[in-house]
Protein backbone atom coordinates (compact mmCIF):
# COMPACT_ATOMS: atom_id res chain seq x y z
CA UNK A 1 0.00 0.00 0.00
CA UNK A 2 1.22 3.46 -0.82
CA UNK A 3 1.99 5.85 2.01
CA UNK A 4 2.19 9.15 0.15
CA UNK A 5 0.12 10.47 -2.75
CA UNK A 6 1.09 13.43 -4.93
CA UNK A 7 -1.84 15.05 -6.75
CA UNK A 8 -1.31 17.83 -9.29
CA UNK A 9 -3.93 20.46 -10.08
CA UNK A 10 -5.65 19.99 -6.72
CA UNK A 11 -6.97 23.52 -6.21
CA UNK A 12 -10.35 22.67 -7.71
CA UNK A 13 -12.41 20.12 -9.61
CA UNK A 14 -11.16 16.57 -9.96
CA UNK A 15 -7.91 17.23 -8.12
CA UNK A 16 -9.59 18.71 -5.06
CA UNK A 17 -12.22 15.96 -4.95
CA UNK A 18 -9.54 13.29 -5.30
CA UNK A 19 -7.54 14.74 -2.40
CA UNK A 20 -10.62 14.65 -0.19
CA UNK A 21 -11.48 11.06 -1.12
CA UNK A 22 -7.96 9.72 -0.62
CA UNK A 23 -7.45 11.59 2.65
CA UNK A 24 -10.26 9.55 4.18
CA UNK A 25 -7.87 6.61 4.26
CA UNK A 26 -5.79 6.70 7.41
CA UNK A 27 -2.90 4.88 5.73
CA UNK A 28 -2.37 7.61 3.11
CA UNK A 29 -0.78 11.02 3.32
CA UNK A 30 -2.02 13.25 0.52
CA UNK A 31 0.00 16.09 -0.96
CA UNK A 32 -2.44 18.37 -2.76
CA UNK A 33 -0.50 20.63 -5.10
CA UNK A 34 -1.16 23.65 -7.29
CA UNK A 35 0.82 26.30 -9.13
CA UNK A 36 -0.43 28.87 -6.63
CA UNK A 37 -0.66 27.18 -3.21
CA UNK A 38 -2.90 29.94 -1.86
CA UNK A 39 -5.67 28.51 -4.08
CA UNK A 40 -5.55 25.22 -2.18
CA UNK A 41 -7.89 24.42 0.66
CA UNK A 42 -6.45 24.69 4.18
CA UNK A 43 -4.71 21.52 5.29
CA UNK A 44 -7.08 18.94 6.72
CA UNK A 45 -6.45 15.55 8.28
CA UNK A 46 -4.17 13.66 5.92
CA UNK A 47 -3.89 16.53 3.38
CA UNK A 48 -0.77 18.67 2.96
CA UNK A 49 -0.82 21.62 0.53
CA UNK A 50 2.30 21.99 -1.59
CA UNK A 51 3.39 24.30 -4.40
CA UNK A 52 3.94 22.58 -7.75
CA UNK A 53 3.89 24.03 -11.26
CA UNK A 54 3.94 21.29 -13.89
CA UNK A 55 5.51 23.71 -16.38
CA UNK A 56 8.46 24.54 -14.10
CA UNK A 57 11.37 22.09 -13.67
CA UNK A 58 12.60 23.40 -10.32
CA UNK A 59 9.09 23.41 -8.90
CA UNK A 60 8.57 19.77 -9.85
CA UNK A 61 11.95 18.72 -8.49
CA UNK A 62 11.34 20.53 -5.20
CA UNK A 63 7.92 18.95 -4.67
CA UNK A 64 9.17 15.41 -5.33
CA UNK A 65 12.21 15.97 -3.09
CA UNK A 66 9.98 17.30 -0.30
CA UNK A 67 7.89 14.13 -0.32
CA UNK A 68 10.80 11.73 -0.72
CA UNK A 69 12.60 13.26 2.26
CA UNK A 70 9.58 12.44 4.41
CA UNK A 71 8.42 9.13 2.96
CA UNK A 72 11.36 7.69 1.05
CA UNK A 73 9.44 7.79 -2.21
CA UNK A 74 6.28 9.11 -3.81
CA UNK A 75 3.95 6.18 -3.31
CA UNK A 76 1.42 7.30 -5.90
CA UNK A 77 1.46 10.08 -8.47
CA UNK A 78 -1.88 11.38 -9.77
CA UNK A 79 -1.20 13.46 -12.88
CA UNK A 80 -4.34 15.55 -12.92
CA UNK A 81 -3.28 19.10 -13.85
CA UNK A 82 -4.55 20.11 -17.26
CA UNK A 83 -6.94 22.29 -19.22
CA UNK A 84 -8.58 22.54 -22.63
CA UNK A 85 -7.16 24.82 -25.33
CA UNK A 86 -9.93 25.19 -27.90
CA UNK A 87 -9.85 26.72 -31.37
CA UNK A 88 -9.48 25.50 -34.93
CA UNK A 89 -6.22 23.96 -36.08
CA UNK A 90 -5.63 26.87 -38.48
CA UNK A 91 -6.36 29.78 -36.18
CA UNK A 92 -5.07 28.74 -32.76
CA UNK A 93 -1.89 30.57 -31.80
CA UNK A 94 1.06 28.20 -31.60
CA UNK A 95 2.25 29.69 -28.32
CA UNK A 96 -1.08 28.65 -26.85
CA UNK A 97 -0.59 25.18 -28.32
CA UNK A 98 2.83 24.91 -26.72
CA UNK A 99 1.41 25.93 -23.33
CA UNK A 100 -1.26 23.25 -23.76
CA UNK A 101 1.32 20.53 -24.31
CA UNK A 102 3.62 21.80 -21.55
CA UNK A 103 0.77 21.43 -19.07
CA UNK A 104 -1.10 18.39 -20.36
CA UNK A 105 1.76 16.24 -21.67
CA UNK A 106 5.31 17.33 -20.86
CA UNK A 107 4.60 18.14 -17.19
CA UNK A 108 3.04 14.75 -16.39
CA UNK A 109 5.80 12.96 -18.32
CA UNK A 110 8.51 14.82 -16.42
CA UNK A 111 6.90 14.10 -13.07
CA UNK A 112 6.82 10.41 -13.96
CA UNK A 113 10.54 10.62 -14.71
CA UNK A 114 11.17 12.28 -11.35
CA UNK A 115 9.20 9.85 -9.17
CA UNK A 116 10.19 6.58 -10.86
CA UNK A 117 13.71 6.24 -9.36
CA UNK A 118 12.24 6.48 -5.86
CA UNK A 119 9.46 4.05 -6.71
CA UNK A 120 12.02 1.55 -8.00
CA UNK A 121 14.04 1.85 -4.79
CA UNK A 122 10.86 1.26 -2.80
CA UNK A 123 9.94 -1.76 -4.91
CA UNK A 124 6.72 -0.34 -6.30
CA UNK A 125 4.30 2.54 -6.71
CA UNK A 126 1.36 3.83 -8.66
CA UNK A 127 1.04 6.36 -11.46
CA UNK A 128 -2.48 7.44 -12.38
CA UNK A 129 -2.76 9.68 -15.42
CA UNK A 130 -5.95 11.66 -15.92
CA UNK A 131 -6.67 11.48 -19.63
CA UNK A 132 -10.05 12.00 -21.21
CA UNK A 133 -12.58 10.34 -23.43
CA UNK A 134 -11.12 13.01 -25.72
CA UNK A 135 -8.07 10.79 -26.02
CA UNK A 136 -10.21 8.21 -27.81
CA UNK A 137 -12.32 10.44 -30.09
CA UNK A 138 -12.18 13.97 -31.46
CA UNK A 139 -14.67 16.81 -31.65
CA UNK A 140 -14.08 19.75 -34.01
CA UNK A 141 -12.40 22.89 -32.69
CA UNK A 142 -10.70 20.84 -29.97
CA UNK A 143 -7.94 19.33 -32.07
CA UNK A 144 -5.03 20.52 -29.96
CA UNK A 145 -6.65 19.53 -26.67
CA UNK A 146 -7.53 16.12 -28.07
CA UNK A 147 -4.00 15.73 -29.43
CA UNK A 148 -2.62 16.31 -25.93
CA UNK A 149 -4.91 13.64 -24.51
CA UNK A 150 -4.05 11.18 -27.29
CA UNK A 151 -0.42 11.76 -26.26
CA UNK A 152 -1.26 10.91 -22.64
CA UNK A 153 -2.82 7.66 -23.90
CA UNK A 154 0.37 6.70 -25.74
CA UNK A 155 2.68 7.62 -22.87
CA UNK A 156 0.53 5.70 -20.38
CA UNK A 157 0.57 2.56 -22.51
CA UNK A 158 4.35 2.68 -22.96
CA UNK A 159 5.02 3.50 -19.32
CA UNK A 160 2.73 0.75 -18.05
CA UNK A 161 4.83 -1.87 -19.83
CA UNK A 162 8.20 -0.30 -19.00
CA UNK A 163 7.52 0.20 -15.29
CA UNK A 164 5.78 -3.12 -14.58
CA UNK A 165 8.99 -5.11 -13.86
CA UNK A 166 9.75 -2.69 -11.02
CA UNK A 167 6.37 -3.13 -9.33
CA UNK A 168 5.02 0.20 -10.59
CA UNK A 169 1.43 0.03 -11.83
CA UNK A 170 0.14 2.62 -14.30
CA UNK A 171 -3.54 3.38 -14.87
CA UNK A 172 -5.27 5.81 -17.21
CA UNK A 173 -8.53 7.48 -16.15
CA UNK A 174 -10.63 8.77 -19.04
CA UNK A 175 -13.44 11.05 -17.83
CA UNK A 176 -16.31 12.23 -19.97
CA UNK A 177 -17.98 15.57 -19.30
CA UNK A 178 -17.24 16.61 -15.71
CA UNK A 179 -18.56 19.83 -14.19
CA UNK A 180 -15.34 21.38 -12.89
CA UNK A 181 -14.97 24.73 -14.62
CA UNK A 182 -13.16 23.01 -17.51
CA UNK A 183 -15.91 24.15 -19.84
CA UNK A 184 -15.44 27.80 -18.82
CA UNK A 185 -11.73 27.67 -19.63
CA UNK A 186 -12.40 25.85 -22.90
CA UNK A 187 -15.05 28.38 -23.90
CA UNK A 188 -12.70 31.23 -23.03
CA UNK A 189 -9.86 29.87 -25.14
CA UNK A 190 -12.30 29.26 -27.99
CA UNK A 191 -13.50 32.86 -27.83
CA UNK A 192 -9.91 34.13 -27.85
CA UNK A 193 -8.79 31.93 -30.73
CA UNK A 194 -10.55 33.83 -33.53
CA UNK A 195 -12.48 37.01 -34.23
CA UNK A 196 -16.05 37.43 -35.39
CA UNK A 197 -14.82 37.71 -38.97
CA UNK A 198 -13.26 34.22 -38.83
CA UNK A 199 -14.12 31.87 -41.68
CA UNK A 200 -14.85 29.39 -38.89
CA UNK A 201 -17.19 31.72 -36.96
CA UNK A 202 -20.29 29.59 -37.54
CA UNK A 203 -18.49 26.41 -36.48
CA UNK A 204 -17.03 28.07 -33.39
CA UNK A 205 -20.48 29.32 -32.41
CA UNK A 206 -22.04 25.89 -32.94
CA UNK A 207 -19.36 24.17 -30.88
CA UNK A 208 -19.61 26.72 -28.08
CA UNK A 209 -23.38 26.37 -27.94
CA UNK A 210 -23.23 22.58 -27.98
CA UNK A 211 -20.56 22.54 -25.28
CA UNK A 212 -22.65 24.72 -22.97
CA UNK A 213 -25.74 22.56 -23.52
CA UNK A 214 -23.82 19.34 -22.89
CA UNK A 215 -22.32 20.49 -19.59
CA UNK A 216 -25.77 21.56 -18.40
CA UNK A 217 -27.22 18.13 -19.20
CA UNK A 218 -27.74 15.82 -16.24
CA UNK A 219 -27.53 12.87 -18.60
CA UNK A 220 -24.16 13.83 -20.10
CA UNK A 221 -22.24 15.60 -17.33
CA UNK A 222 -21.53 14.70 -13.69
CA UNK A 223 -19.61 16.19 -10.79
CA UNK A 224 -15.92 15.58 -10.00
CA UNK A 225 -16.63 13.09 -7.21
CA UNK A 226 -17.42 10.49 -9.88
CA UNK A 227 -13.84 10.72 -11.13
CA UNK A 228 -12.34 10.95 -7.64
CA UNK A 229 -13.97 7.66 -6.69
CA UNK A 230 -12.36 5.97 -9.67
CA UNK A 231 -8.95 7.52 -9.01
CA UNK A 232 -9.12 6.26 -5.43
CA UNK A 233 -9.76 2.78 -6.80
CA UNK A 234 -6.81 3.03 -9.18
CA UNK A 235 -4.51 4.14 -6.36
CA UNK A 236 -5.58 1.58 -3.77
CA UNK A 237 -6.72 -1.55 -5.63
CA UNK A 238 -4.40 -4.55 -5.47
CA UNK A 239 -4.77 -5.05 -9.23
CA UNK A 240 -5.86 -1.74 -10.75
CA UNK A 241 -7.25 -1.69 -14.26
CA UNK A 242 -5.22 -0.26 -17.12
CA UNK A 243 -8.09 2.04 -18.14
CA UNK A 244 -11.13 3.50 -16.45
CA UNK A 245 -13.71 5.34 -18.59
CA UNK A 246 -15.83 7.56 -16.34
CA UNK A 247 -19.54 8.28 -16.98
CA UNK A 248 -21.98 6.13 -18.95
CA UNK A 249 -22.14 8.79 -21.67
CA UNK A 250 -18.36 8.61 -22.16
CA UNK A 251 -18.49 4.81 -22.41
CA UNK A 252 -21.22 5.08 -25.04
CA UNK A 253 -19.34 7.70 -27.08
CA UNK A 254 -16.04 5.80 -27.01
CA UNK A 255 -17.73 2.64 -28.25
CA UNK A 256 -19.77 4.58 -30.82
CA UNK A 257 -16.59 6.06 -32.28
CA UNK A 258 -14.94 2.65 -32.42
CA UNK A 259 -17.92 1.00 -34.10
CA UNK A 260 -18.76 3.74 -36.58
CA UNK A 261 -15.34 4.36 -38.06
CA UNK A 262 -14.14 7.68 -39.43
CA UNK A 263 -16.65 8.51 -42.16
CA UNK A 264 -19.72 7.54 -40.16
CA UNK A 265 -18.49 9.42 -37.10
CA UNK A 266 -17.96 12.52 -39.25
CA UNK A 267 -21.59 12.19 -40.36
CA UNK A 268 -22.62 11.96 -36.69
CA UNK A 269 -20.67 15.16 -35.97
CA UNK A 270 -22.42 16.96 -38.80
CA UNK A 271 -25.73 16.09 -37.14
CA UNK A 272 -24.44 17.59 -33.89
CA UNK A 273 -22.86 20.77 -35.23
CA UNK A 274 -24.69 21.31 -38.50
CA UNK A 275 -23.30 21.82 -41.96
CA UNK A 276 -21.18 24.82 -41.12
Residue 46 confidence (pLDDT): 79
What is the DSSP secondary-structure string of the chain?
Answer: --SEEEESS-SSHHHHHHHHHHHTSTT-EEEEEESSGGGSPPP-TTEEEEE--TT-HHHHHHHHHHHHHHHSS-SEEEE-------S-TTTS-HHHHHHHHIIIIIHHHHHHHHHHHHHHHHT-EEEEEE--GGGT---TT-HHHHHHHHHHHHHHHHHHHHHGGGTEEEEEEEE-EE-SSHHHHHHHHHHHHS-TT-TTHHHHHHHHHHHHHHHH-TTTEE-THHHHHHHHHHHH-SS--SEEEESHHHHHHHHHHHHHHHHHHHHHHHHHH---
Which pLDDT tens digit goes with each residue over 7-17? 999 999 999 99
By annotation, the residues acting in catalysis are: 145
Q: How many CA atoms lie within 13 A of 80 on its CB side?
A: 33
Share of residues in the chain with pLDDT > 70 (%): 97
**Res 56 pLDDT > 80:** yes
Residue 101 confidence (pLDDT): 98
**Res 148 pLDDT > 70:** yes
Going along the chain from its start, the domains and CATH numbers come out as 4-273 (3.40.50.720)
Lowest mean pLDDT among 101-105, 203-207, 230-234: 203-207
Which pLDDT tens digit goes with each residue over 97-119? 999 999 999 999 999 999 999 99
Residue 2 confidence (pLDDT): 54
Calculate mean pLDDT across residues 2-26.
93
**Res 274 pLDDT > 90:** no
Calculate mean pLDDT across residues 176-184.
89
Residue 1 confidence (pLDDT): 45
Residue 65 confidence (pLDDT): 98
In this prediction the pTM is 0.94
Lowest mean pLDDT among 66-70, 172-176, 191-195: 191-195
Amino acid sequence: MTASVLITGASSGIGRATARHLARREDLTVYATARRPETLEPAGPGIHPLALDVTDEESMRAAVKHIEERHGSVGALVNNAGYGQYGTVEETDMQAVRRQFETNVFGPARLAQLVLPGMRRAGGGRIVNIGSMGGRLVFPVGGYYHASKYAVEALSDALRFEAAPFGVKVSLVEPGLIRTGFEDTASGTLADSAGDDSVYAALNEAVGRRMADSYRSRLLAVGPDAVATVVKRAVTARRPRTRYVVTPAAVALVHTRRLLGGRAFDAYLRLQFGKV
